[in-house]
Amino acid sequence: MGECNLDHSVEDVQQKFNSQSQWLPEDIRSLFHEFLVRNPSQTTLNEMFHLLKKYDLVDEQERKERDRKIKWLILNKENTNN
């Protein structure tokens, strides 16, 4: 994935998730709302956006790696702006 200098809003990330959700594993889909309500930092929002971007077009190996990173962002990373 290339670097992007744009900041993506919560709405951008939600829209990207909505457009890619049919290809995402169920466990990620069911937990995604938790990610957004925790008020993730701008850096984390940008990271999530790019993990979701073109998810439907990547090969199986790349999907598994993205799945791992997405789950980590949702479950383990401290995501607040506090």
Buried b or exposed e, range 14-48, using 16+ CB within 10 angstroms: eebbeebeeebeeebeeebeebbeeebeeebbbbb
Give the pLDDT band of residue 77 (cuts 50, 70, 90): low
Span 19-55, pLDDT tens digits: 999 999 999 999 998 898 988 999 999 999 999 999 9
pTM, entire model: 0.85
